[in-house]
A and B are shown apart, each in its own frame.
Chain A
Amino acid sequence: MSNLDQLGSALKEIVGEANVVQNPDQLKAYAVDGLVPKAVVSPGSVEEVSKVLIYANAEKLTVVPRGNGSMMASGGIPKKVDIVLSLLRLNRIVDYDVANLSLSVQAGITLAEVQKKLASGGKGNFLPLDPPHTEKATIGGIIATNASGPKRYLYGTARDLLLGLKVVSPNGDIVSFGGKTMKNVSGYDMTKLMIGTWGGLGIITEITTKLLPLPEASATLLASFNNLAAVGLFVRKIVHSVLLPSAVDLINEKAAERLGEKSKYLLAFSLEGVVEAVDRQVAEISDSAKKEGAVAVKVLKGAEEQNFWIRVRDFSEAVAKEFAPPVVLKSNFVISKHTELLGTYEKMAQAAGINAAFMVHAGNGILYTYILEKAEKTGGLAEFIGKLTAEAVKYEGNLVVESCPREIKEKISVWGQQRSDQVVMRRLKEKMDPQGVLNPGRFVGGI
């Protein structure tokens, strides 16, 4: 038997014939940065995930975990891709405890499906995460990549919501951390350690999170500005006020155009909560915006409001349809510098002759750059990314390439500038995954 046949029969024994893909044509769709796996395996239980990892350890094979694949273009070029492990068959809701306001799900279920189910329980609840890929993103993928969206401004990110995880360690051990209590300091907070690790310290198979009751009312306010300095002053005023918007997003002209809005700089405020507070914030922010130089203000409600935020969240998907593979960059920086950074980025794009759209979570210090042209036709892209990175570092942040073609990855560090904590990350990876079974090479510093 060839090695490939041996691999195939071993995997089939674990997960069943129907759940192993070895057909070369089908495998191409699972390539990571051009590296085609030898097999794709879809376990139907945590125990099967464990067995696959034990087998991979024994055979010195590497395993790349995968949900719906929306973040597979992120990360560094893998050292080796032997087995892609799909979590899509692990897609059950394990426990929806309405009275405790907690939820446990398997990793492969989509956020969209979860939200549907949550809205129908009790008075209606939701999981306050709104990352890109509204329909496709799986809960496991969101946690493994620490994905977030505009409403993190009020609700925070995975680290503020997770209560517990079930994980298969790189050596195949099935381990559980945290639980369904709101507080937990028993042992190390392994739950937080697993967030955003791209599966490199273990494969997340089950997630328990806090929930929130659905807000009584909501509205979205869009304010258009012509002047970036005025935007800066206005956002500062709101962010440092008693008002509590759930999102404060700043969208530049090219991005606004793709959202169907005409505006040089568009500020979008999501307002959620009790009806009195929503009404007051709509009125107060509108008035304030006009005083601070907004040229147009409008309020979105109902389906119009929902669709607006879905288009914001799925901006990268729309870009990807036109310019595959898309180039998406995420800069982080101190929150007060959002207009400075956006202004500089716009000038840099113009100077480099690169067509780029920008969207900023203005209250969180997170800026996304989307290149609106085919990467292979864009000259000087690597150099451009380097310049943007340096600028974010100036404001105590960094730049992560969320998606780009392999040729660009070869020229840059997709995780931005290295920091002094890399030494600890390397030691953690070496201790927890000594054989380098899980996703080797794709994480920060090539670990």
Chain B
Amino acid sequence: MEKEKIVHELNRLIGNEKVLGSDMQITLYEYDAYLLRAKPDCIVLPTTTEDVSKVVKFAHDNGIRVVARGAGTNLTGGSVCLHGGIAIVTTKMNQILDLDIENQRIVVQPGLITLNLKNFLARHGYLYQPDPASEKSSTLGGNVGENAGGPHCLKYGVTSNHVLGGELVLFDGEVIQFGGKALDNPGYDLSGVLSGSEGTLGIMTKLVLRIVPKAEAVKTMMCIFNTIKDGSDTVSAIIADGMIPATLEMMDNLTIKAVEEAYNAGLPKDAAALLIIELDGLKDGMERLAEHIQNICKKHNVREIRVAKDEAERAKIWAARKGAFGAVGRLRPNYLVNDGTVPRTKLPETLDKVIKIGQKYNLPIANVFHAGDGNLHPLVLFDERDKDELGRVHKAATEIMQACADMGGTISGEHGIGVEKLHGMSFIFSAKDMAAMNRVKAAFDPANRYNPGKLLPELQKTA
């Protein structure tokens, strides 16, 4: 169907204030936080489930592709309309529908910004655990679509562990409820398989999330090291000692310098590595555990340990960590962030390989990552106008993925496959593994209209 006709029909279906179709508007939605650009045919901004259902049914009846999009912070091209179609942007579906403290659940629309939810809950003394670094701008629908992580996932699990149900618009516009406020609903774990499905199975229009009372006590320590190895050995030693703190985050020298120059956070610019270790829970025994961790740090030649004295100091440490991508972004015009994850015992060895890959391709790489989970984030810095450099960036990214796979790890821990990592899927999955995933796709979306060309390589070919 022609673009003008699509816009006309959508105007009629959901009202022209919810439909964008001008060239300028379309250009604004042609990219996300990855390097790829592709234009949708038009954009809709639904406010209700009915709007979404009508748009999807219309798309289904007319063979048009649909791509769900939240705030567009996706790092792998997942929210780009690779093959045109309708971008269903959820940012106006940003309401809290039901705060249910008694049952420790909250029901929200998918376009709600993660941090807005967290701030809202904080006023009631409750917490939604997942804390992706992009939480200031990312939406919960996007978090669920990517199965986002974050520093505190070390102790509390990733987004899917906190999504208990919701509402889904199927490929033909039919609306179903899955999971719910109660646990253990009979049947397949649809919340589980939908989390991280990158918008390829349907569009979620409501999310039921678990909330918990805020922890009694928290202790945040910044541990500064003179070598990367001492930092990563400390991480392994803490886990091997039988301790799982709430976070075990790490930054390397390039990141520390970038953060310090951007925010004046008081970080030591000459340090080789910095660990942010946080304990939370009951106050009882926490001091003893903190001392024990400090002793492990000392055994691994820690240079200095700074303990946050109050919430303001803690907030400052976390602002430095969560602002790291942005700060590194100031160093060169572009960065590509890798997301490989390895068994946590393989962290020092893998970091070594990453450094060597950077040297081989003559590319600066900043490292800031969830060390306790073995989830690396090498940020490869470059200038996309330099075509030779761009070529080397893609080669380096592929080699890092391969290195993580070789270590018994995986190519993505929390950012997803999108378009960026499609060619890495064969590093970790056999053709039979992917065939099984294709059957799941076919069950949800038989004509491959939901976010085509993402997540599974075979689907890319048939798109």
Please list the residues of chain A having a beta carbon within 8 angstroms of any beta carbon in chain B.
97-102, 122-125, 146, 148, 156-157, 159-160, 167, 169, 173-177, 179-190, 192-193, 195-197, 201-202, 212-214, 236, 239-244, 273-277, 279-281, 330, 332-336, 364-366, 395-398, 400, 415-416, 419-425, 427-428, 430-432, 443-445
Q: Can you give 19 contacting A-B residue pairs, CB < 8 Å?
A: A98-B240, A156-B157, A156-B161, A159-B160, A174-B432, A176-B433, A177-B436, A181-B341, A181-B410, A182-B154, A184-B410, A185-B147, A189-B195, A332-B183, A397-B180, A423-B170, A425-B190, A427-B443, A432-B436
| Residues in chain B near residue A430, CB distance under 8 A | 443
Query: Whole-angstrom distance from the CB of B348 to the nearest CB of chain A?
Result: 12
Q: Is B282's CB under 8 angstroms from A189's CB? A: no
A427 CB contact (under 8 Å) in B104, B146, B240, B444: B444
Q: Does B361 contact A (CB under 8 A)?
A: no
Q: Is A275's CB under 8 angstroms from B186's CB? A: no
User: Chain A interface: which of B23-31, B307-315, B423-431?
Assistant: B423-431
Complex CA distance for A134 and B176, rounded to whole angstroms: 37
Q: Is A332's CB under 8 angstroms from B410's CB? A: no
Q: Is B176's CB under 8 angstroms from A421's CB? A: yes
Complex CA distance for A179 and B404, rounded to whole angstroms: 12
Q: Does B189 contact A (CB under 8 A)?
A: yes
Q: Is A183's CB under 8 angstroms from B414's CB? A: yes
Q: Is A334's CB under 8 angstroms from B288's CB? A: no
| Residues in chain A near residue B239, CB distance under 8 A | 99-101
Q: Is A424's CB under 8 angstroms from B373's CB? A: no
Q: Is A444's CB under 8 angstroms from B443's CB? A: no
Query: Whole-angstrom distance from the CB of A142 to the nearest CB of chain B?
Result: 14
Q: Is A187's CB under 8 angstroms from B343's CB? A: no
Complex CA distance for A189 and B439, rounded to whole angstroms: 13
Interfacial residues of chain B within 159-178, with CB under 8 A of chain A in the complex: 160-161, 168, 170, 174-178
Q: Is A431's CB under 8 angstroms from B412's CB? A: no
| Residues in chain B near residue A176, CB distance under 8 A | 429-430, 433
Q: Does B334 contact A (CB under 8 A)?
A: no
Q: Is A187's CB under 8 angstroms from B455's CB? A: yes
Residues of chain B at interface, number, CB under 8 A = 95
B216 CB contact (under 8 Å) in A196, A242, A424: A242
Query: Whole-angstrom distance from the CB of A328 to the nearest CB of chain B?
Result: 14
Closest to B433 in A: A175
Query: Whole-angstrom distance from the CB of A219 to the nearest CB of chain B?
Result: 13
Query: Whole-angstrom distance from the CB of A160 to the nearest CB of chain B?
Result: 5
Q: Is A185's CB under 8 angstroms from B412's CB? A: yes
A100 CB contact (under 8 Å) in B103, B104, B177, B345: B345
Q: Is A280's CB under 8 angstroms from B282's CB? A: yes
Q: Is A99's CB under 8 angstroms from B240's CB? A: yes
Q: Is B186's CB under 8 angstroms from A102's CB? A: no
B176 CB contact (under 8 Å) in A160, A365, A423: A423
Complex CA distance for A124 and B430, rounded to whole angstroms: 35
Q: Is A431's CB under 8 angstroms from B417's CB? A: no
B215 CB contact (under 8 Å) in A157, A197, A242, A431: A242
B153 CB contact (under 8 Å) in A97, A183, A213, A365: A183
Q: Does B2 contact A (CB under 8 A)?
A: no
Q: Is A186's CB under 8 angstroms from B417's CB? A: yes
Known: A185-B146, A396-B182. A424 touches B432 (CB 8 A): no
| Residues in chain A near residue B345, CB distance under 8 A | 97, 99-100
| Residues in chain A near residue B285, CB distance under 8 A | 273-277
| Residues in chain A near residue B213, CB distance under 8 A | 240-242
Q: Is A184's CB under 8 angstroms from B437's CB? A: no
Query: Whole-angstrom distance from the CB of B203 to the nearest CB of chain A?
Result: 14
Query: Whole-angstrom distance from the CB of A181 to the nearest CB of chain B?
Result: 4
User: Chain A interface: which of B40-48, B241-249, B294-302?
Assistant: B241-249
| Residues in chain A near residue B178, CB distance under 8 A | 421, 424
Complex CA distance for A335 and B103, rounded to whole angstroms: 5
Q: Does B204 contact A (CB under 8 A)?
A: no
Q: Is A364's CB under 8 angstroms from B183's CB? A: yes
Closest to A397 in B: B182
